[in-house]
A and B are shown apart, each in its own frame.
Chain A
Amino acid sequence: MITRRALLANGAKVAVGTVYYGTLASFLTGCGSSDDDDSKETPIIKVLAGGLMVVNPVICVGCRRCEIACSWSHGTSAVSPSTARIKVDKNLNFGPLGVQANYVEQRGEQGDRTIVPSTCRQCDVCMTVCPEKAIYINETTGARIVDESLCVGCGYCADKCPQQVITIDKITRKSLKCDLCEGNPNCAQVCPTGAIKFYTWESAVAAVEQHEKYLTLI
């Protein structure tokens, strides 16, 4: 049995098809897993192919080309940090935890200059809370995708998203979330420092761990 602690501590390689307690997503992201509630003793989950986008805050330089490329490649190509499925502007100036009294000590351009963009961790929360069951998993990429024909724009997914990277489009009233661009993410293509990368589940552990370090108050 491989525990989450062991996985993260040893940086153990995760191979497709291995057996774990709970879902891999909950191991890596700390998000609640729909399987945790099950009374099954040994839930068996196959690790999916695909992965997630993670930003390395050490080399993010705040250009927001990721937001731009995301905007361009979706919908009508209109550019907006609100409809972009990666969120930089919200954390840009003061870090992920908002304006603190000691803002000079915290993250962000007004603090220690570290920018901590938020990306979708492709966890199960939005999928689980959606009352219309409008979010499904893309078998190839592992991305959690919104089925627009089922989405009613209730906003529950946006509300509960642990990374706060889901928005409801004001015009179409549909949920907008990261779909990993069919496996060739636009954000990663345009990043001028390679700060945002597409990590397979195998290699995501260290990257997520590092990102997590930047989500706490100093």
Chain B
Amino acid sequence: MSSKFGGWAGYILRVNLTTSKISKETTEKYHDYIGGMGIGYKVLWDNHVDGIKATDEENRLVISAGPLSGSGAICSARTTITSRNPVIRGHLITDGHFGGHFSPELKFAGYDAIIIEGKSPTPVWLKILDDKVTIEPADSLWGLGIFDTFAAISKMMGQQAQVAAIGPAGENLVAQSTFQTQGGHSAGGHGSVLGSKKFKGIGIIGTGRVEIAESTTNEQLRALDDHILGIIGANNQGVVPHDPQSWAEFNAGISRWRGGPGVTWGAADEPVMLEETPWDDHQKVGMRTSMAEMYFGREEANKIFKRPGGCHSCPIRCFCELKNPKMKTEYNLPTEYITNTCMGFLDPWYSMGKPGNGEKKTDIMTIGGYYMDNLAIWSAYGQLSHIMREFTKRSFWEVLLPAEEFAAINWEQYANLDAHFMQDYYTRIGLAKSYNGSNYFGRFLGTGLHNFINDEGELYNIQDVLDDVESPRMAGLTFALESDAEENLLGKTYSVFLDEGVHVFNRSMVGGLHHASEAAGQVGALLATVFNRDPQCHSHINLINCGLPYAKIAEVAESMWGENAFDPVKHYKAMNVAKAKFAKWCLVKNVLHDSLTVCNWMFPLLVSPDVNKNYLGDSSIESQMFSLVTGIETSEQELDDKAERVLQLHRALSVLQMKEPDQRNNHDALCEWVYDMDPDKIFGEEGTIKMDRADIQIGLDLFYAEMGWDNATGVPTRATLEKFNLGFAADKLEGLGLLPA
């Protein structure tokens, strides 16, 4: 047990499933990488093996907490999962995350991270009872849905166990699968990595503690806690209410601060009717956020919302604990409850064509959410669901699927927005080859899209691809909708790079759209270039969607990064240095949060609901938390530098794994539709989010300059890598001819 510092538990578990050997290592050598994501990427770098697949035995998976996890600091309970990802071309590294109570329990048990390596011949699970760590047989668990898995492991260990597991999707090596913990929290992209290792899950009971630095007092911890409560808003740092409230100067439709008159936790045992939620009433912070209002509309939400929920140490409670009795009465599910905060509800909605609010939509989202989680399916931030919707709209399935299989799918249910459709739909995706019957449909949707397209984004014959035909035929799909004429696409060969509807944003990575060019224009677009999957970055969202009027947000952005850092919504201007700085700042903070661990859906707190502070927040909260908990006095810049170290390492590792010296053109390219949408408008005209090719290349120039990356290639230079003590990475890349001269 590390006694020098507070925060870190001091040990990392290394579990080798081939040899069944479990060993402990010190966390100290990762302190410069903070923890969480930092540990994940450092381990993956150190253990890099060329050209392997995510599901190969040599691939490692790291589950990591950070020094703040379990310390009680606000919003500090995230867990980062790092490994190669089979959805991504080249099976490059990605990091997924989940919240809940898992990483605190890991810390209470005495560990900062778990490294899973090797491969077990038979299904196993990992049992952690403080210092007693054993590999247990999982024969009775293999095949169980997620919820039964949680119950079974908890039954074996004790009701207070925190459990994380894969579902049937991971077991069936479906690439689009998750690793989940209790409470509706799921991390995407790595379910099949664990499935290939025959690793079902982890149960932890930790009766130990997260140490707080000796020099830190309760008064200091509470003072910082109070300070944060005086700045924090609602989910995505909405700092004004959605509807007018008497204590607020402003309100905004984009804000998730919905708690107020008219909102009811209607499914509670005694319905809770909310009153106004003044910003300085600390006993009402947990009543501000209602995602259910956003997703289901007020009428439905007031019926099905029982209470909000979420992660350890977070007062915001962005999760929706919903009760839809029809889950049992109409759809034969064992429960009438479902919990989620976003994609678990939105994926079914996207899949079914985005119907309007009402009972059908409610059923689709709750029943779909149940199946997705129980099977533990990942949509790659909606990519799977957008493909489903658009391909159905375009009548592509009839072309792509064998006639018999197409006929076996109940399209009538789909057309009627009948939520019964969810069962077979998700079961096909989750079971893949194990599905009883022809299942190209489910297998296609569950496998990374990149496997099915050529360099132009045009679809191969998916049956050929799934049958491992060496030279698959083309699918022969065309743009044939009337609306395609508006985008000058009618008659052209269908390509996912040309179709705005499927929301592929990063062309090189076939990555999903997640707060991209619609969010602060070039800033959002640049964020989408760096990671190997959708960026999962909300650093910019937590400012630009905070609900304050545009002028106020622009003022904050200008003070942070320079003039014109933030353009008016849907009325963009040319690229500039301020935007490049803004983009870099977002990424550094995002990586910081995933390393500490702190929630990037709330932090950074640049703004606040406090009119007396002119709505300004405090960007140094993270470093204050870090200093108090660990006892290591660290300034905001010093902590950001550690985070940037992890970000630079991520870039270097992507280069290494890709063996690609030209990141600009082969990693950082955006889809054609991003530039060619709204053909009747030009870039910079009001009413469009379209980007400009030359402008984005300038964007990359300026962004690379901020990051210290080679202008031509976008690869970190030796000087930059050495600045962050990553000289070893420079050496490695140089040895392979991947380092810029």
Asked if chains A and B are in direct contact (CB within 8 A), the reply is yes
Say whether A92 faces chain B, with CB atoms less than 8 Å apart. Answer: yes
- In the assembled complex, the CB of A107 is this many whole angstroms from the nearest CB of chain B, namely 11
Indicate if the CB atoms of B208 and A80 lie closer than 8 Å. yes
- Which residue from chain A places its CB closest to the CB of B71 in the assembled complex? A79
Indicate if the CB atoms of A61 and B214 lie closer than 8 Å. no
Indicate if the CB atoms of A77 and B212 lie closer than 8 Å. yes
- Which residue from chain A places its CB closest to the CB of B281 in the assembled complex? A194
Indicate if the CB atoms of A82 and B209 lie closer than 8 Å. yes
Indicate if the CB atoms of B101 and A79 lie closer than 8 Å. no
Task: Tell me which residues across on chain A come within 8 A of B217, comparing CB atoms.
Answer: 77
Say whether B287 faces chain A, with CB atoms less than 8 Å apart. Answer: yes
Task: Tell me which residues across on chain A come within 8 A of B286, comparing CB atoms.
Answer: 61, 63, 191-193
Task: Tell me which residues across on chain B come within 8 A of A93, comparing CB atoms.
Answer: 150, 154, 159-161, 182
Task: Tell me which residues across on chain A come within 8 A of B282, comparing CB atoms.
Answer: 189-190, 192
Mark B199-217 against chain A: 1 for CB-CB distance below 8 A, else 0. 0000000011111101011
- Which residue from chain B places its CB closest to the CB of A78 in the assembled complex? B209
| Contact partner, B307, options A59, A81, A82, A83, Cβ 8 Å | A59
* Docked CA distance A64–B104 (Å): 11
Say whether B306 faces chain A, with CB atoms less than 8 Å apart. Answer: yes
Stretch at the interface among A28-36, A38-46, A109-117: A109-117
Indicate if the CB atoms of B310 and A62 lie closer than 8 Å. yes
* Known A99-B154, A191-B283, A193-B286; contact A61-B334, beta-carbon cutoff 8 A: no
Task: Tell me which residues across on chain B come within 8 A of A68, comparing CB atoms.
Answer: 72, 313
Say whether B596 faces chain A, with CB atoms less than 8 Å apart. Answer: no
Indicate if the CB atoms of A80 and B108 lie closer than 8 Å. yes
* Docked CA distance A186–B270 (Å): 27
Say whether B593 faces chain A, with CB atoms less than 8 Å apart. Answer: no
Indicate if the CB atoms of A89 and B216 lie closer than 8 Å. no
Task: Tell me which residues across on chain B come within 8 A of A59, comparing CB atoms.
Answer: 268, 272, 307
| Contact partner, B313, options A63, A99, A170, A191, Cβ 8 Å | A63
A110-157 contacts to B (CB < 8 Å): 110-114
Task: Tell me which residues across on chain A come within 8 A of B72, comparing CB atoms.
Answer: 65, 68-69, 71-72, 79
Say whether B308 faces chain A, with CB atoms less than 8 Å apart. Answer: yes
- Which residue from chain B places its CB closest to the CB of A82 in the assembled complex? B207
Task: Tell me which residues across on chain B come within 8 A of A89, comparing CB atoms.
Answer: 101, 105, 160
Task: Tell me which residues across on chain A come within 8 A of B270, comparing CB atoms.
Answer: 58
- In the assembled complex, the CB of A187 is this many whole angstroms from the nearest CB of chain B, namely 12
Mark B254-283 against chain A: 1 for CB-CB distance below 8 A, else 0. 000000000000001110100000000011
Indicate if the CB atoms of A63 and B212 lie closer than 8 Å. no
Mark A71-91 against chain B: 1 for CB-CB distance below 8 A, else 0. 111001111111100000111
* Docked CA distance A144–B101 (Å): 31
Say whether B524 faces chain A, with CB atoms less than 8 Å apart. Answer: no
Task: Tell me which residues across on chain B come within 8 A of A110, comparing CB atoms.
Answer: 147, 150-151, 154, 182
| Contact partner, B222, options A69, A91, A94, A99, Cβ 8 Å | A69
Task: Tell me which residues across on chain A come within 8 A of B154, comparing CB atoms.
Answer: 93-94, 99, 110
- In the assembled complex, the CB of B536 is this many whole angstroms from the nearest CB of chain A, namely 23
* Docked CA distance A72–B208 (Å): 15
* Docked CA distance A92–B150 (Å): 13
Stretch at the interface among B315-323, B482-490, B577-585: B315-323
* Docked CA distance A143–B71 (Å): 27
Mark B133-153 against chain A: 1 for CB-CB distance below 8 A, else 0. 000000000000001001100
Indicate if the CB atoms of B321 and A113 lie closer than 8 Å. yes
Say whether A103 faces chain B, with CB atoms less than 8 Å apart. Answer: yes
Indicate if the CB atoms of A63 and B315 lie closer than 8 Å. yes
* Docked CA distance A192–B221 (Å): 17
Say whether A98 faces chain B, with CB atoms less than 8 Å apart. Answer: yes
Task: Tell me which residues across on chain A come within 8 A of B70, comparing CB atoms.
Answer: 79
Task: Tell me which residues across on chain B come within 8 A of A7, comparing CB atoms.
Answer: none
Indicate if the CB atoms of B287 and A65 lie closer than 8 Å. no
Mark B275-306 against chain A: 1 for CB-CB distance below 8 A, else 0. 00000001111110000000000000000001
- Which residue from chain B places its CB closest to the CB of A95 in the assembled complex? B159
Indicate if the CB atoms of A192 and B285 lie closer than 8 Å. yes
* Docked CA distance A206–B287 (Å): 23
Task: Tell me which residues across on chain A come within 8 A of B212, comparing CB atoms.
Answer: 72, 76-79
* Docked CA distance A191–B283 (Å): 6
- In the assembled complex, the CB of A206 is this many whole angstroms from the nearest CB of chain B, namely 12
Say whether B339 faces chain A, with CB atoms less than 8 Å apart. Answer: yes
Say whether B183 faces chain A, with CB atoms less than 8 Å apart. Answer: yes
Task: Tell me which residues across on chain A come within 8 A of B108, comparing CB atoms.
Answer: 80-82
- In the assembled complex, the CB of A214 is this many whole angstroms from the nearest CB of chain B, namely 9
- In the assembled complex, the CB of B226 is this many whole angstroms from the nearest CB of chain A, namely 9
* Docked CA distance A186–B219 (Å): 11
Say whether A217 faces chain B, with CB atoms less than 8 Å apart. Answer: no
Indicate if the CB atoms of A79 and B209 lie closer than 8 Å. yes
Say whether A12 faces chain B, with CB atoms less than 8 Å apart. Answer: no
Task: Tell me which residues across on chain A come within 8 A of B531, comparing CB atoms.
Answer: none
- In the assembled complex, the CB of B525 is this many whole angstroms from the nearest CB of chain A, namely 36
Task: Tell me which residues across on chain A come within 8 A of B105, comparing CB atoms.
Answer: 89
* Known A59-B272, A90-B160, A170-B207; contact A192-B313, beta-carbon cutoff 8 A: no
Interface pairs A-B: 5 shortest CB-CB: A192-B286, A68-B72, A80-B209, A192-B315, A194-B283
Can you pick out 7 interface pairs between chain A and chain B where the beta carbons lie within 8 Å of each other?
A61-B307, A61-B308, A72-B212, A76-B214, A78-B212, A89-B105, A99-B155
Q: Residues of A at under 8 Å CB distance from B? A: 58-59, 61-65, 68-69, 71-73, 76-83, 89-94, 98-99, 103-104, 109-114, 170, 186, 189-194
Given contacts A93-B182, A192-B317, 14 further A-B contacts (CB under 8 A): A63-B317, A64-B313, A65-B72, A72-B218, A79-B212, A82-B208, A109-B309, A109-B321, A111-B337, A112-B337, A113-B321, A192-B282, A192-B287, A194-B283
